[in-house]
């Protein structure tokens, strides 16, 4: 990733942090609407708690983009753990699409083409690492 892309991601995520709970609600509503087949992964899950975990994890990743050597092993472990929940490799694209739509809704005019491209590169890269670790 380019340094300018990392800056765009970090700056845009800083605008999401104050609305983290709402962003998590938007994300899961979008995910369950567009990919209802993933909803069973969350049976019995407190979705408010899950939303907090999502936003915390995103924050760790976003803040660590300049030090991928620390993020990648954690992401790989998380991916392996998600296999136990029934997550499939093709689910990563669904999650990525929901993430982008959530950012678009949450950031409004701040979700420029450059911001979208930066998030797409970051997510695609991380999802690739995670799917390789989980399904190799």
Tokens of 131: 């799917």
Residues 99, 116: Cα–Cα separation, whole Å: 10
The closest of 92, 84, 95, 86 to 132, measured between CA atoms, is 92
CATH architecture of 3-135: Orthogonal Bundle (1.10)
Specify the 3-state DSSP secondary structure of 10. helix
Convert the pLDDT of each residue in 52-83 to its tens digit.
999 999 999 999 999 989 999 999 999 999 99
Q: How confident is the model at residue 1 (pLDDT cuts 50, 70, 90)?
A: confident
pLDDT at 76: 94
Tokens of 52: 């907090």
pLDDT at 24: 97
Residues 21, 6: Cα–Cα separation, whole Å: 23
Q: Round the average pLDDT of the chain to a whole number and report it.
A: 95
* Contact call for residues 130 and 92 (beta carbons, < 8 A): yes
Convert the pLDDT of each residue in 114-123 to its tens digit.
999 999 999 9
pLDDT at 95: 97
Convert the pLDDT of each residue in 127-136 to its tens digit.
999 999 999 8
Residues 102, 46: Cα–Cα separation, whole Å: 20
């Amino acid at each position: 990733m380019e340094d300018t892309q990392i800056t765009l991601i970090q700056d845009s995520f800083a605008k999401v942090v104050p609305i983290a709970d709402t962003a998590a609600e938007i994300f899961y509503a979008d995910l369950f609407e567009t990919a209802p087949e993933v909803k069973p992964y969350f049976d019995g899950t407190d979705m408010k708690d899950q939303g907090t975990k999502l936003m915390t994890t995103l924050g760790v990743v976003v803040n660590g983009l300049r030090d991928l050597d620390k993020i990648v092993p954690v992401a790989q472990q998380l991916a392996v753990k998600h296999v136990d929940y029934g997550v499939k490799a093709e689910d990563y694209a669904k999650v990525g699409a929901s993430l982008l739509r959530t950012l678009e809704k949450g950031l409004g005019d701040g979700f420029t083409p450059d911001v979208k491209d930066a998030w797409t590169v970051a997510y695609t890269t991380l999802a690739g690492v995670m799917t390789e670790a989980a399904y190799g």
